[in-house]
Amino acid sequence: MTYDGTDRPVAPVALDTLPDGAHARLVTVSGGPGLRSRLAAMGLRTGVAIRVVHNGGRGPFVVAAGEARIVLGRGMARKVLVVPNGSGEA
């Protein structure tokens, strides 16, 4: 469980549920070691601030992590758990 600025617990949600422009922080990946390793190699590690660039419901899912743009399949995005925030830190 993660906490927001007011010390209230915030439950993680799947990355694929966030709309375009949403900001979040990666909490965990609910996949096996191969998926976790692959995402880490792309820069998606625990604690990383990300922004949803494109989630049109179909096609690839695009996120920004720092200066990088990362394209994920929908199945991968569903396994990435994040805590949404409105701070704009991605």
Residue range 4-54, pLDDT digits in tens: 555 667 899 999 999 999 999 999 999 999 999 999 999 999 999 999 999
Domain residues for the domain of 52 are 12-85
Domain count, the chain: 1
pLDDT value, residue 87? 52
- Residue 3 within any structural domain of the chain: no
Q: How far apart are CA 83 and CA 12, in angstroms?
A: 5
* CATH number of 75's domain: 2.30.30.90
Global pTM reads 0.83
- Residue 28 within any structural domain of the chain: yes
- Residue 1 within any structural domain of the chain: no
